[in-house]
């Protein structure tokens, strides 16, 4: 009959109490008889544990990635503002209002091509 699990045999992310794996950050338990291996279940739990530092880092990284995608995606407003800025820089302040629609579209197309070349995402 096996004796109690010693402190040295416990993993860094779990405690073992009579074959129950427990997250030390939130207390979530996986008892004996759970269909998958206990280590795999705990690893999956750690990825989404509300209190585990690794999960918090993952959530912050996902939020930062979403913000970056938002910044790098060209919206119609960003395209219009960029085209106006290009026009005013090339032709003089407030010149946009005097341009034809064809010329305004050329500025928009030029702005998008330049922004995409710099790594921005074209509009959907």
What confidence score (pLDDT) does residue 38 get? Answer: 66
pLDDT tens digits, one per residue of 4-48: 444 444 444 544 446 677 888 898 887 777 766 767 777 888 888
- The distance of Cα 24 from the centroid of its chain, to the nearest Å, equals 26
What confidence score (pLDDT) does residue 41 get? Answer: 78
Q: What is the pTM of this model?
A: 0.47
Please compute the mean of the pLDDT values over residues 73-97 and round it to a whole number. Answer: 82
What confidence score (pLDDT) does residue 36 get? Answer: 67
What confidence score (pLDDT) does residue 43 get? Answer: 81
pLDDT band at 100 (very low <50, low <70, confident <90, very high): confident
- In 45-76, which positions are buried (b, 16+ CB within 10 angstroms) versus exposed (e)? bbeebeebeebeeeeeeeeeeeeeeeeeebee
Say how far apart CA 66 and CA 45 lie, in whole Å: 23
Predicted confidence (pLDDT) at residue 108 exceeds the cutoff of 80: yes
Q: Which two tokens stand for residue 35?
A: 């269909």
Please compute the mean of the pLDDT values over residues 48-77 and round it to a whole number. Answer: 86
Domain spans of the chain, in order of start: 9-63, 74-117
């Amino acid at each position: 009959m096996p004796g109690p699990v010693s402190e040295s045999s416990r993993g860094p992310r779990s405690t073992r109490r009579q074959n129950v794996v427990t997250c030390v950050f939130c207390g979530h338990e996986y008892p004996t008889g759970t269909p998958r291996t206990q280590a795999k279940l705990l690893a999956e739990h750690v990825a989404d544990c509300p209190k585990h530092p690794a999960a918090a880092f993952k959530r912050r990284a996902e939020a930062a990635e979403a913000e970056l995608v938002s910044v790098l995606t060209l919206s119609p407003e960003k395209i219009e503002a960029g085209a106006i800025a290009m026009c005013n820089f090339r032709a003089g302040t407030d010149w946009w209002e005097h341009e034809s629609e064809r010329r305004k579209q050329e500025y928009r197309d030029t702005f998008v091509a330049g922004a995409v070349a710099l790594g921005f995402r074209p509009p959907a």
